[in-house]
Amino acid sequence: MRQSAQSLTTIILVTLLGVLLAPSLQAHEGSAKQDQEQGPGTFQPRHNESKSNQLKQGDPAPPFDLIDQDRKKVSLSSLNGRPLFLTFIHTHCKDACPLILRNRQQVEQQVEPAIGKHIVFLAITMDPQNDTSEVLKAFIQTLGVSTEDLHLLTGDVQQVKKVLHEYDINAIGDPTTGFIGPHTTVGYAINTKGTIERIYDFSMRM
């Protein structure tokens, strides 16, 4: 049953992300002004309809202190003054995660109006048990994406789990099966002052 559900989820995610990120996406219905502002292939900011204890636009981004694919320490404070886009991945993902990373340039172009250019792209693993720095580096090489201003982040399991919780990501890898539980694929656009400027939805809740 779980395998069937995962297969259906994969089909839905691939289809939906293909629509959200495809350069040839037709304009959404709405006014011409809205279409011009959103541009082709846009993904939508999440409306502030979250629970009171969830992150929302205008909140300070929760701090983190992790290591990247080159085993270099990366923290929110070390990136102070740079615009950031933060999302969440795992290397066993075959649909959403590769699509997001391969379309990084398009994602950055869409968030630049909110936080500025020269964005640092961050992706924290949801599976720190398996996603070591070496595994993350191999994942980047397999995808063939540029490593400039790109940091895939991991760390101690409890440390990563705490960061995931603070960013409202309800997922952690199962060390036995490798299964990643239900989560929402979101992205946080963080401005140069460390404040959450926008929260974006890449996909539906699984």
Residue 78 lies in a domain: yes
Q: How many separate domains does the chain show?
A: 1
Residue 134 lies in a domain: yes
Instruction: Please tell me whether residue 197 adopts helix, strand or coil conformation.
Output: strand
For residue 131, what is the domain's CATH number?
Answer: 3.40.30.10
What is the domain range of residue 180? 56-201
- Smallest CA-to-CA distance from 118 within 37, 40, 192 is with 192
Residue ranges of the chain with per-residue pLDDT less than 50: 1-43, 47-49, 204-206
What pLDDT does 181 receive?
59
* DSSP class of 79: G
* DSSP class of 117: S
- Smallest CA-to-CA distance from 164 within 148, 139, 188, 143 is with 188
What pLDDT does 109 receive?
93
Phi-psi region of 199 (alpha: psi -120 to 50; beta: other; left: phi over 0): beta
Residue 175 lies in a domain: yes
Q: For the purposes of burial, counting CB atoms within 10 Å of the CB of 41, is it exposed (0-12), middle (13-18) or buried (19 or more)?
A: middle
Residue 42 lies in a domain: no
Q: Are strands 65-67 and 73-75 parallel, antiparallel or unpaired?
A: antiparallel
Residue 73 lies in a domain: yes
* pLDDT, tens digit (0-9, with 9 covering 90-100), for 56-111: 999 999 999 999 999 999 999 999 999 999 999 999 888 888 989 999 999 999 99
Residue 40 lies in a domain: no
Helices (H) and strands (E) in the chain, counts: 6, 7
Q: pTM, whole model, 2 decimals?
A: 0.74
What pLDDT does 141 receive?
96
Residue 37 lies in a domain: no
What pLDDT does 18 receive?
46
Report the distance separating Cα 161 and Cα 173, nearest Å: 10
Residue 64 lies in a domain: yes
